[in-house]
């Protein structure tokens, strides 16, 4: 299966407008944003767990990264409420589910194969640093290595920010709205820009919080090859 699989193209998906698609596990539904592969895939997805639903225990051969958007996500490692940012590296395992139901944004098979660093953060409790180049923008660093960088961007009302993204980028609007290259991105809208681009985003009257990831798109073909050889 291929969804938004041309990484040379700009992609915008307003996820709240998509229908929910049943997964193989009862009570778990998905809204695919991009995908290459079958049930095991390099994928970016919004996933909804009904109350009391759980996936079977499994190993994340290619790693898993997620944000809790609604409710409380749970596994044997703990409870993860709204605002949690988690990285489960390649070869990690768990049994995910939710007693009361939840919605998460999740990315699979987008790691470097030797990455073994677990990350568990509460973004809503972390501080931010003002961006000296963009008045009205502050940044909460979430993760950075030689391969990629992940941050939470805080836009003040009507603030405009110019952001270089030479290695491409992905954005997910968590709160508020922004206007970027003529596209209005509202809550849970997702944007992927190709390598060699830049971003110029203007927040709406209530400001915005936007998750941003960059760097990983330079390795897409290797990610796909590792998936096919797994």
Query: What would the pLDDT profile of 86-138 be if each residue is shown by its tens digit?
Result: 999 999 988 999 999 999 999 999 999 899 999 999 999 999 999 999 999 99
Whole-number pLDDT of residue 39: 84
d(CA 180, CA 200): 6
d(CA 221, CA 47): 25
Which residue has 């809790």 as its token pair?
68
Residues 6+ apart with CB under 8 A from 75: 94, 95, 96, 97
pLDDT tens digits, one per residue of 178-211 = 999 999 999 999 999 999 999 999 999 999 999 9
Residue 91 backbone dihedrals phi, psi, to 5 degrees = 80, 0
What's the whole-model pTM score? 0.96
- Kindly report the CATH number that applies to the domain delimited by 6-122+219-229: 2.60.120.10
Out of 1.10.1040.10, 3.40.50.970, 1.10.10.10, 2.60.120.10, select the CATH number for domain 127-217: 2.60.120.10
Where are the chain's structural domains?
6-122+219-229, 127-217
Token digits of residue 22: 């049943």
Whole-number pLDDT of residue 58: 84
d(CA 50, CA 114): 34
pLDDT at residue 227 is higher than 90: no
SS3 218: helix
Whole-number pLDDT of residue 230: 78
Is 74 exposed, middle or buried, given 0-12, 13-18 or 19+ CB atoms closer than 10 A?
Answer: buried
CA angle 19, 21, 22 (to 5 degrees): 150
pLDDT tens digits, one per residue of 210-224 = 999 999 999 999 898
Is 16 exposed, middle or buried, given 0-12, 13-18 or 19+ CB atoms closer than 10 A?
Answer: exposed
d(CA 198, CA 212): 13
CB 79 within 8 A of CB 49: no
Whole-number pLDDT of residue 229: 83
Q: Detail the DSSP E strand segments found in 95-219.
A: 97-98, 102-108, 119-122, 129-130, 137-144, 149-155, 160-165, 169-180, 183-185, 189-193, 197-214
Whole-number pLDDT of residue 151: 98
Token digits of residue 163: 């952001």
**Do the first three CATH levels of 6-122+219-229 and 127-217 match, i.e. the same topology?**
yes
pLDDT tens digits, one per residue of 11-65 = 999 999 999 999 998 999 999 999 999 888 999 999 999 999 988 888 888 899 9
Token digits of residue 12: 């915008």
């Amino acid at each position: 299966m291929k969804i938004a699989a041309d990484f040379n193209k700009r992609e915008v998906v307003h996820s709240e407008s998509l229908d929910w698609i049943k997964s193989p596990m009862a009570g778990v539904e998905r809204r695919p944003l991009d995908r290459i592969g079958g049930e095991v895939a390099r994928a970016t997805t919004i996933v909804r767990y009904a109350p009391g639903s759980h996936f079977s225990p499994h190993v994340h051969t290619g790693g898993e990264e997620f944000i809790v958007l609604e409710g409380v996500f749970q596994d044997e490692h703990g409870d993860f409420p709204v605002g949690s940012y988690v990285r489960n590296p390649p070869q990690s395992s768990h049994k995910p589910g939710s007693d009361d139901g939840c919605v998460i944004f999740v990315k699979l098979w987008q790691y470097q194969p030797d990455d073994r660093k677990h990350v568990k953060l509460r973004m809503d409790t972390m501080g931010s640093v003002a961006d000296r180049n963009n008045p009205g923008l502050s940044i909460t660093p979430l993760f950075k290595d030689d391969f990629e960088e992940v941050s939470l961007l805080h836009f003040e009302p009507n603030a405009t920010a110019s952001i270089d993204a030479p290695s491409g980028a992905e954005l997910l609007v968590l709160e508020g709205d922004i206007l970027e290259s003529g596209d209005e991105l509202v809550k849970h809208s997702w944007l992927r820009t190709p390598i060699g681009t830049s971003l110029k985003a203007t927040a709406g009257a209530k400001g915005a919080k936007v998750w941003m990831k960059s760097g990983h798109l330079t390795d897409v073909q290797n990610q796909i090859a590792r998936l096919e050889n797994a």
